[in-house]
A and B are shown apart, each in its own frame.
Chain A
Amino acid sequence: MNGLWLKSLSLITTTEHETHQAADTLVAAAGHVAEHGGEHVAEHAPEFPNIVEILHHYFPDSVFVQLISDYMIVFFSLIVGLFLSLLAYAGYRKRSMIPGPAQNLMEWVVESLSDMVITLLGEQGRKYIPFIGSLFIYIFSMNMLGLIPGMFSSTAKLNTTLALALCVFLYVQWSGIRNLGILGYFYHLAGSPKSTVEWCLVPLNLPLHVIGELSKPVSLSLRLFGNISGEDMLLAIFAGLGVTILSFTHLPIGLPLQLPFIFLAILTSFVQALVFTLLTTIYFSLMTHHEEEHS
């Protein structure tokens, strides 16, 4: 188990091309955890206890607590959703030409995201800004939520990241079908053959492209899940180390050894949200670029 955690630690410092390898490690870790069952995870996984676990501990019979305990990931995603909705409402409520603090912050975020998308996709990418921008803000907020005591990063669970990646996958495929038409879409999947040789290679190209498309949500979700769960574990491990150091005092206190890694975690949260968003943009770009080629 320890070996696995150490491998997880290395996730934090992985570069982008090592991500797949790191994701493999985490899949193995997840498999290991699955083998030993959920109870085991709750006892031994180096995670900070969150508010749901605390509530569940003190009110194990409450129906509500049981519900949020069963749907913990959804519960924390909802908290983020609610927070973002309130923030959006605060920024939207008193709109003026000269923005107030909330409006200013939101305008800045939206402006930056829209600039990024338009730089990559051009003017025709404007219609994807709401989806891509929301993805970034939502993922970044979920990543950051895990840093607040009592809270939990929903993106540290594969369920959440896979759901997000599937949304991206379906939207990209749907926009491909809508832009190219059904036949054009399959022509694209076949590798857009033109010469006879290329047509002969279609039986090879088609499965390759299909596998390539299917691997996109897998890589997207594993990357985000691996990085964020690794980051949260790292913090918990170092906090645990700090507790161990001060255990001789017999007080419920520890040295905050995780402090430097909090800043690293902030960076990872941002970078991983950005990577997820950028890759989504690029998947859209591959579809729109294709469309341009044909026209």
Chain B
Amino acid sequence: MEALGLKWDLIVTQIIGFVLALWILKAFAWKPLLKMLDDRRKKIAGDIDDAEKIKAEAGKILDEYHAKLRDIEVEARSKIQDAISEGNRIAVEIRENARDEAREIVEKSREELSRDIARARVELRDDMVGMAIKAAEKIISAKLDEAEQKRLLENFLREVDKT
């Protein structure tokens, strides 16, 4: 071998040493290195996963808020609508009440008026009777006796009643 100028024994020894070194490295250094790389990979995957989860959660919360806002808007609108119809209802009621009251007042006034008229009529009749008696007394006090006087008076009263 030496004669050929190539040291095959050296090459073989180198190969043996290399294979042994590889075997030792594989047994002792390979696993920690792989584990380190695997941990790195897992960490990246976990981080990305977490970020995505957080993003999804944030999106969900945002959607919820939007939905809630929409609900609130709808509720507010319906409440306003309710308030408007309630207001309208109250206005109608007030108007009705006012009308009834007015009618009542008018009725009452009318009744009172008619009562007053009746009373006034009675008073007027009494006054007229008194005045007529006095006038008659003054005119005919001397001429008529009491019976005639009474008859005339009764006539007069009947006539007054007729009117």
Contacts and interface: CB of A to CB of B under 8 A. Distances in A.
Q: How large is the interface on B (under 10, 10 to 19, 20 to 34, 35 or more residues)?
A: 20 to 34
A256 B20 contact: yes
Interface string B34-51: 001100110011001000
Interface string B1-45: 100111111111111111011001000000000001100110011
13 contacts: A48-B10, A48-B11, A49-B10, A108-B36, A108-B40, A149-B11, A242-B13, A252-B9, A253-B16, A254-B10, A258-B17, A259-B20, A263-B21
Contacts of B11: 48-49, 54, 149-150
A240 B18 CA distance: 15
B36 to A, nearest CB: 8
A54 B4 CA distance: 11
Contacts of A101: 37
B15 A98 contact: no
Contacts, number: 81
Contacts of B20: 256, 259
A253 B44 contact: no
A268 to B, nearest CB: 14
Interface residues of A, number: 33
A53 interface: yes
Given A53-B6, A57-B4, A243-B10, A262 B44 contact: no
Interface of A: 48-49, 53-54, 57, 97-99, 101, 104-105, 107-108, 147-150, 235-236, 239-240, 242-243, 251-256, 258-259, 262-263
A239 B14 contact: yes
Contacts of B5: 57
B41 A252 contact: no
A149 B8 contact: no
Contacts of B4: 57
B9 A108 contact: no
Contact of B17 (A104, A105, A108, A262): A262
Contacts of B21: 147, 259, 262-263
A238 to B, nearest CB: 9
B105 to A, nearest CB: 87
B13 to A, nearest CB: 4
Given A98-B48, A254-B13, A256-B17, A54 B40 contact: no
